[in-house]
């Protein structure tokens, strides 16, 4: 079995695959100093509850945008799984696509590269992948799956928290779709500004990216808050919560074949 790990700024997601079939996935709040021993106790217990044998994991791949976490996650794999993990962004790890950026591949978000790979093997066309995570990212891949770059905006929850913490009278709110744009209370007004403001952000960015790319692009939404925005704008074509992990499975396959 293969263990795929995606460490972002909010959560670390662990997914176990039997071949290309997902058989379990779990999330843990990201703490850069969490040790390999802490990870293994947590993961082993959850796998037992899911009827899975921790000792049957024979390979691992890591994508992380938290550099401090990579060491401990690598130690988890090497010390407790007895396998050396592939780390996306390492020059020795083949992506199977070109990364057409002006900076080294190792400095591009590993999840963004995995998204491009996972998107291409499914959709086989030029893509914009909108990832509603800690940051809201827009990543562009051409018809061959090559990663062209994109844009990074503050994430929705981050914007909500700043709106609350930087003002004297605005409360902390939950992110949800309001029934109307013109809010009749402070909370409704904040929810409208956050929700419809991000819809406008997505629509505006997708239109500008498409114009600059010069051809139609399939728009894929992923990330924790993506389901909230699917169906409210015709510019989002697909919801794909597993695109990152599917990309990691494919990158692992390309390096082991």
Which residues form the catalytic set?
Answer: 111
Known binding residue 150? Answer is no
The answer on whether 115 is annotated among ligand-binding residues is no
Task: Please check if 177 is assigned to a binding site.
Answer: no
Judge whether 134 is annotated as a binding position: yes
179 labeled binding residue: no
Query: 9 labelled as ligand-binding?
Result: yes
Q: Is 6 annotated as a binding residue?
A: yes
- Is 157 annotated to bind a ligand? Reply is no
Backbone angles phi, psi at 12, to 5 degrees: -110, 125
Residue 102, annotated as binding a ligand: no
Binding positions for substrate are 109-112, 186
Binding positions for K(+) are 131
Binding positions are 6-13, 109-112, 131, 134, 186
Binding positions for ATP are 6-13, 134
């Amino acid at each position: 079995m293969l263990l795929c790990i995606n460490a972002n700024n909010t959560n670390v997601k662990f997914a176990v695959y039997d071949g290309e079939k997902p058989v379990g996935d779990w999330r843990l709040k990201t703490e850069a100093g969490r040790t390999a021993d802490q990870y293994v106790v947590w993961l082993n217990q959850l796998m037992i509850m899911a009827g899975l044998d921790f000792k049957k994991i024979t390979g691992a791949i890591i994508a992380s945008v938290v550099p401090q976490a990579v060491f401990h996650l690598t130690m988890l794999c090497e010390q407790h799984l007895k396998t050396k993990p592939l780390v996306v962004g390492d020059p020795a790890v083949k992506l199977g696509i070109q990364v057409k950026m002006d900076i080294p591949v190792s400095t591009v978000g590993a999840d963004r590269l995995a998204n491009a790979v996972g998107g291409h093997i499914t959709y086989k066309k030029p893509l914009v992948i909108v990832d509603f995570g800690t940051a809201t990212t827009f990543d562009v891949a051409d018809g061959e799956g090559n990663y062209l770059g994109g844009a990074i905006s503050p994430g929705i929850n981050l914007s909500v928290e700043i709106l609350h913490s930087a003002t004297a009278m605005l409360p902390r709110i939950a992110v949800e779709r309001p029934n109307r744009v013109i809010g009749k209370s402070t909370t409704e007004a904040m929810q409208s500004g956050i929700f419809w403001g991000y819809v406008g952000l997505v629509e505006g960015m997708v239109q500008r990216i498409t114009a600059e790319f010069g051809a139609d692009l399939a728009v894929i939404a992923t990330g924790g808050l993506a389901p909230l925005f699917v169906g409210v704008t015709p510019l989002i074509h697909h919801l794909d919560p597993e695109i990152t992990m599917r990309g990691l499975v494919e990158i692992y396959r390309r390096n082991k074949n």
